[in-house]
């Protein structure tokens, strides 16, 4: 079968490998859709933490079951599925408390082990979700959107509170949308006016702030009547933004880091302390989050057609991959069809 291997930074090759044989408890999935995310872009550029080369990328995946043991599970050959890419140990302190998303031995498909940029993938049956009642396109973005849904659930958003979301990439958009569904008044902050326009239309945010030509601190102060936001999400993966995000937080508020950066994050303790801020990180998602996202898609609460801005056949992706990273491409979510 064909697979797309990231041999080293900036170097994809298409190669022929064997179709994987199944281990106990696994199903063989014919991969049909692959969402491209920031993790893939960072890996391509050599800036992804916890990563080694060569690697087959791809963790936003949907497909069709082509082989599965008949052992009483709820799946059958021909079912469409979304893949939960977080392979947890099930035994560590995080797993025992239900936090499988931050398992101490976590392996993410497409990052720590080979992923779905290939025609077939062997996946533990425990990490499949039946998605016959949504499209393959929709199923492939469930994982992406679930990261935002998890961050919002972790922040324990309250109805009508102000929530600032810094960064209008796909994950940030997910945070905005699910914060809105939770009842927050959402303030989107980015430096790209076209992205902010998309936030208004797609995520239905209440306010936008263009940090490229506005004083974000003063604008947020004005919007919140001088009280600032009780929840601030930083989804940029930018150290400077993450260092300064606390300034947008209200006294008694929460600061939630969703983005990941290879740097130290620092801020003045007196400013942090006087606010008595709650500092949270949000990593990945759990099955509960993915199931909630599927529910919102089925209920028509998520406009998946506008979220997916391009679809590219598998055999054309090498020549087009870098284009999706260019700001002028206006890419929200690029998807590979196979």
- Statement to judge: residues 100 and 219 lie in one domain: no
Specify the CATH number for the domain of residue 92. 3.90.180.10
Same domain, 127 and 166: no
132 and 160 together in one domain: no
Please check whether residues 166 and 136 belong to one and the same domain.
Answer: no
Q: How confident is the model at residue 72 (pLDDT cuts 50, 70, 90)?
A: low
Q: Are 125 and 85 in the same domain?
A: yes
Domain assignment present for 220: yes
Q: Is residue 296 part of a domain?
A: no
Give CA–CA dist 161/264, Å, rounded.
30
287 domain-assigned? no
Q: How many domains, in total, are found in the chain?
A: 2
- DSSP secondary structure code for residue 20 in this structure: P
H-helix or E-strand containing 44? helix 38-45
- Is the domain of 242 the same as that of 134? no
Percent of the chain with pLDDT over 70: 99
Q: 0.75 cut: is pTM over it?
A: yes
CATH code (residue 212): 3.40.50.720
Are residues 126 and 207 both part of a single domain?
no
Task: Quickly state the pLDDT bin for 329 (edges 50, 70, 90).
Answer: confident
Same structural domain for residues 129 and 193?
no
Share the mean pLDDT of the chain. 96
Could you tell me if residue 294 is inside a domain? no
- The DSSP string of 276-325 is TPEEEE--S--HHHHHHHHHHHHTT-S-HHHHEEEEEEGGGHHHHGGGGG
Domain boundaries, position 201: 149-281
Burial class (CB in 10 A: 0-12, 13-18, 19+), 59: buried
- Whether residue 292 is contained in a domain is answered as no
| pLDDT class of 327 with cuts at 50, 70, 90 | confident
How far is residue 208's CA from residue 202's CA, in Å, rounded to a whole number? Answer: 13
Q: Is 58 within the bounds of a domain?
A: yes
For residues 167 and 259, what is the distance between their CA atoms, to the nearest angstrom?
Answer: 9
Token representation of residue 203? 């995520």
pLDDT of residue 108: 95
**Is residue 101 assigned to a domain?**
yes
């Amino acid at each position: 079968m064909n697979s797309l291997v990231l041999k080293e930074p900036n170097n994809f090759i298409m190669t022929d490998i064997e179709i994987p044989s199944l281990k106990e408890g696994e199903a063989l999935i014919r991969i049909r859709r692959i969402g491209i995310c920031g993790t893939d872009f960072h890996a391509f550029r050599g800036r992804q933490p916890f990563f080694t080369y060569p690697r087959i990328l791809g963790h936003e995946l949907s497909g069709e079951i082509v082989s599965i043991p008949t052992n009483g599970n709820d799946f059958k050959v021909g079912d469409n599925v979304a893949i939960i890419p977080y392979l947890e140990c099930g035994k560590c302190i995080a797993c025992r408390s239900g936090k499988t998303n931050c398992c101490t031995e976590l392996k993410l498909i497409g990052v720590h082990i080979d992923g779905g940029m290939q025609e077939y993938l062997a996946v533990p049956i425990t990490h499949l979700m039946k998605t016959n009642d949504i499209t393959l396109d929709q199923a492939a973005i469930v994982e992406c959107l679930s990261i935002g849904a998890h961050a919002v659930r972790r922040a324990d958003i309250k109805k009508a509170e102000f929530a600032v979301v810094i960064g209008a990439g796909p994950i940030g958009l997910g945070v905005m949308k699910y914060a809105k569904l939770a009842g927050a008044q959402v303030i989107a902050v980015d430096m790209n006016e076209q992205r902010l326009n998309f936030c208004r239309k797609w995520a239905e945010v209440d306010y936008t702030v263009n940090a490229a030509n506005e004083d974000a601190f003063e604008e947020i102060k004005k919007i919140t009547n001088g009280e600032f936001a009780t929840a601030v999400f930083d989804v940029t993966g930018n150290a400077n933004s993450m260092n300064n995000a606390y300034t947008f937080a209200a006294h008694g508020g929460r600061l939630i880091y969703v983005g990941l950066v290879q740097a130290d994050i620092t801020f003045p303790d007196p400013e942090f302390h006087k606010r008595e801020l709650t500092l949270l990180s949000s990593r990945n998602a759990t099955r509960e989050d993915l199931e909630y996202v599927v529910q919102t898609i089925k209920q028509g609460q998520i406009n998946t057609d506008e979220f997916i801005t391009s679809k590219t056949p598998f055999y054309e992706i090498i020549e087009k991959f870098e284009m999706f990273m260019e700001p002028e491409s206006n890419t929200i979510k690029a998807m590979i069809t196979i």
